[in-house]
Amino acid sequence: MTLLAPWASHPERSRGRLHEEQKGSTPGGARGPRDAFQRDRDRIIHSISFRRLRHKTQVFMAPDGDHFRVRLTHSLEVAQIARTIARTLGLNEDLTEALSLAHDIGHPPFGHAGEDALQAALAEQGGFDHNGNTLRALMTIDSPYPRWNGLNLTWETLEGLAKHNGPVKRPRWALADCDAAFPLDLGNWSSLEAQVAAIADDIAYDNHDIDDGLRAGLLTLEQLLEVPLIARGWDAVRARFSDVAPARLVGELIRSQIGAMVNDLIAETRSRLVGIGDSADVRAAGRCLVGFSPEMREDERILKRFMYANLYHHPRQLEAARAAEGIVTGLFAAYRADARRMPADWAARIPAEEPWRSRHIADFIAGMTDHYAVSRYREVVGPIDLPEGF
């Protein structure tokens, strides 16, 4: 077992869970050999919300190709990168893994296109954002236990998911509702474990989206070599494998670039942790303590600009996004016009009054996978011709 650093989150010091559970004799009141954070991770892995990530968009809508990433495989890759960082820094690996695996659970079908459509549909009912919906899914909607709604995760896991990208000054209704039930100290920075999960997310998609973009033919190596970080990495890889065909070296480029980012992050974070005594100091620091060096931060910013211009906003991707928004918008309108079109259990529980009526419909749509959303649209709205990219 890794020895935890003083600034790590310790399960025996957890602030507990919203709902009281049967107590055990182990540290932190755990039942059996697992501590509180291990139990959180396992509840997330066994949840319906986590399983649905298998068929939710990462970059490409409802991809048919077996080799493209989806939200589930992306979340696993984030967890792998985050655990490596956490172990090196002496942080709690189980809490880090739980946060990494759950961070995208609130995404609706079709990724950010689906989120934009739900935000527009709920404009008069408080809006929609995937981060708040992550908390809503885990605290209210996904309810496998007999005595309470939600997974009843620890305060540290919920806090980390609520503000892994930093303090939240003006939470929207979903996050505000969760915070009212179990105050999450939204105005301060989160644990180091949450900060690691957040930047591991960036490292994962910065690099793995390159791989998927090349595989889909939307990016070329020649384009990528315009990015300084990639050009330096490619030169280093070619020097190490001068006798290997370039086509065989893309995977090595991705791996080496992830390694360079992780090593830079660890070195920079260690320098920022000087003078930090414990997890309370982390939250009181008033700034993010996990991050890249200024040089790597600028390199990563340039890479992101390139990816938005050449992959995320590629004409084929934008066409697919417009179709996805149409599907989500059409479903919302159909269910709002006649809630009986929803499955019986959802229709039976729909509130009579706004804003909760519309929010209930959004809860149902947000939980859909890409494929299920398409099939439901065809059932309740009508035929749809999907563009290339679905």
Tell me what pLDDT residue 130 has: 96
Q: Are 366 and 118 in contact (CB under 8 A)?
A: yes
The angle subtended at Cα 50 by Cα 57 and Cα 318, nearest 5°, is: 10
Tell me what pLDDT residue 348 has: 97
State residue 17 phi and psi, 5-degree precision. Answer: -120, 160
Segments in the chain forming alpha helices (H): 36-45, 48-52, 71-89, 93-102, 111-121, 130-136, 155-162, 173-181, 192-216, 221-224, 228-240, 250-272, 279-284, 294-307, 315-337, 344-348, 356-366, 370-380
Tell me what pLDDT residue 165 has: 87
Q: Residue 340 gets which letter from DSSP?
A: G
For residues 96 and 263, give the distance between their C-alpha atoms in angstroms, rounded to a whole number. Answer: 18
Tell me what pLDDT residue 258 has: 98
* Each residue's pLDDT expressed in tens, for the chain with a length of 390 residues: 568 999 999 999 999 999 998 765 454 555 689 999 999 999 999 999 999 999 998 888 766 667 889 999 999 999 999 999 999 999 999 999 999 999 999 999 999 999 999 999 999 999 999 999 999 999 999 999 999 999 999 999 999 999 988 999 999 999 999 999 999 999 999 999 999 999 999 999 999 999 999 999 999 999 999 999 999 999 999 999 999 999 899 999 999 999 999 999 999 999 999 999 999 999 999 999 999 999 999 999 999 999 999 999 999 999 999 999 999 999 999 999 999 999 999 999 999 999 999 999 999 999 999 999 999 999 999 999 888 767
Closest CA to 215 of 322, 311, 303, 304: 311
For residues 370 and 367, give the distance between their C-alpha atoms in angstroms, rounded to a whole number. Answer: 10
The angle subtended at Cα 132 by Cα 16 and Cα 193, nearest 5°, is: 50
Global pTM reads 0.95
Q: Are 26 and 33 in contact (CB under 8 A)?
A: yes
Tell me what pLDDT residue 64 has: 64
Tell me what pLDDT residue 25 has: 47
